[in-house]
Amino acid sequence: MRTLPRVATLFASVRATAVLPICLAATAASAQSDTGARQGLLNGAPDPTGVATTNAAGETVYYVAATGQGVKLLRSTDLKHWTQAGRVFDKRVPDWASRAVPGAQGIWAPDLSYHNGLYYLYYSVSTFGSQHSVIGLAVNKSLDRESPDYRWEDRGQVIASDAADTDFNAIDPALLVDEEGKWWLFWGSHWSGLKAVAVDPSTGKPRDGAKIFPVAARPDTTSHAIEAPFVLFHDGYYYQFVSWDGCCDGAASTYKVMVGRSRKPTGPYADADGKLMLDGGGTLVLENSERWRGPGHNGVITTDKGQWMVHHTYDVENLDAQRILQVRPLDWTTEGWPTVGEPLAAPQR
C-alpha cells in the first residue's frame, strides 16, 4: 500500500482528518444512554485525523485515528462508511504516559500523517481541565493490519506541560511539513494559547533548546478557550484552523471552527479583518446549527477529487452517540478564505 502524494494545498504528504456524520455500531454500543457528555469524552470518534492511501487494487483507502482508549483506528474507501481497524496501543494509555499523567483514562486528539516512508501518529495524554499533560509519538510502516510491516513503535514523550514549568497545555498536536520541507509541530489548548516548534525529521521531536513560537491565543476572554490547531498551505498562505469555546457539553456545546492566515508557518496569523490571532482574531468557518452542536477540532483532506473539511460534532437527535464524525466539502472564496458546505452523509443509526 502506498500513500497518495499531497497536492499543493496541503503538506508534503497527505494529512487528513477523514470524518463523517456517522455513528459506528461499536461506538454507539459503547455510548450508553445514561452516559453524560463529560463522562463520554472517549466515546464516539472525537478529534479525528487521518491519511489517504492507495491499496494494491488501486483503490483509495482512508484511515482515521480518533480519541479513545489506545487510539481508535477506522477505515473507509468512500469517506461515508467506516469500519474499525484496530487500535494503536493495546493499553488504554502507554505505560510511560500513565506514569507521567496519573489518572489518564485514554488518549486524546491523535494526529496521523505520512512522511518519508512512515506513518507518524502524535497523541496527547491528559485529564479534563488539567494543564498536566504530555504529547507522545508513535510510528508505523503500514496501517494495514494484514501487512508484515504493521507494527507500532512508540517513541515516547515529545513535549510536556505542567503549571509549575510552562504557560501552555501540551495537547492537540498537529504536524506540518512546510513548503520548504521544514517540519513543525503545533499544539495547545486554553492557557496562553497555541504554540509551534521546529522538529527534527529524523526523530519527530524538537531539538534541545528549540524556540517555541506563539501562534494564536484569546487574551480577550476569561476562558482563553482556543485549541486544536491545524495548519495547511494554500495559494501562498499558511492557514491555521482552530477551535473556540466549549467542546464537550452535548447540545450546550459552543465549539466552533475559526481560521487565520500567514505568509509564514510561525505567523503572524491574522483573520479576514486583519486582527491577529494572537490578539483573539479569527474568521468563522463553522458553528452550531439546529441539529449539529459543537462542530470542531477539524482537519482537511485533499485528493485529486477535491478537498473536504473533517471534524466532530454532536447530533442533537442522538446525543448518546457523543461526538461523531462529519465531513463537509471545502472550497475557497475569491479572496482566499475557506468555506464549507453541508455534510456529505446523514448519520447511520
**Alpha-carbon torsion 179, 184, 190, 192, what sign?**
negative
Q: How confident is the model at residue 346 (pLDDT cuts 50, 70, 90)?
A: low
Q: How confident is the model at residue 79 (pLDDT cuts 50, 70, 90)?
A: confident
Q: How confident is the model at residue 305 (pLDDT cuts 50, 70, 90)?
A: confident
CATH topology of domain 2-340: Tachylectin-2; Chain A (2.115.10)
Give the residue numbers annotated as catalytic, written as ranges: 47, 227
Q: How confident is the model at residue 6 (pLDDT cuts 50, 70, 90)?
A: very low
CA angle 131, 132, 138 (to 5 degrees): 110
The predicted structure's pLDDT at residue 293: 98
C-alpha cell of residue 23? 455513528
The predicted structure's pLDDT at residue 345: 79
**What size, in residues, is the chain?**
349
What is the arithmetic mean of pLDDT over 87-110?
97
List C-alpha distances in Å: 161 to 117, 130, 154, 166, 189.
30, 10, 19, 6, 11
Q: How many CB atoms lie within 10 A of CB 153?
A: 11
The predicted structure's pLDDT at residue 2: 41
The predicted structure's pLDDT at residue 5: 35
Mean pLDDT of the chain: 88
- Looking at the predicted structure, is the pLDDT value of residue 25 above 70? no
CA angle 184, 282, 237 (to 5 degrees): 45
What is the arithmetic mean of pLDDT over 284-299?
96
- Looking at the predicted structure, is the pLDDT value of residue 18 above 60? no
- Looking at the predicted structure, is the pLDDT value of residue 142 above 70? yes
Q: Which of 60, 84, 89 is nearest to 73 (CA)?
A: 84
Domain boundaries, the chain: 2-340
Q: How far apart are CA 163 and CA 173, in angstroms?
A: 19
The runs of H, that is alpha helices, within the chain are 25-30, 95-100
The predicted structure's pLDDT at residue 222: 95
More confident residue, 73 or 28: 73
What is the arithmetic mean of pLDDT over 220-248?
97
Q: How far apart are CA 8 and CA 235, in angstroms?
A: 8
Evaluate whether 130 touches 144 at the Cβ level (below 8 Å): no
What is the arithmetic mean of pLDDT over 45-69?
88
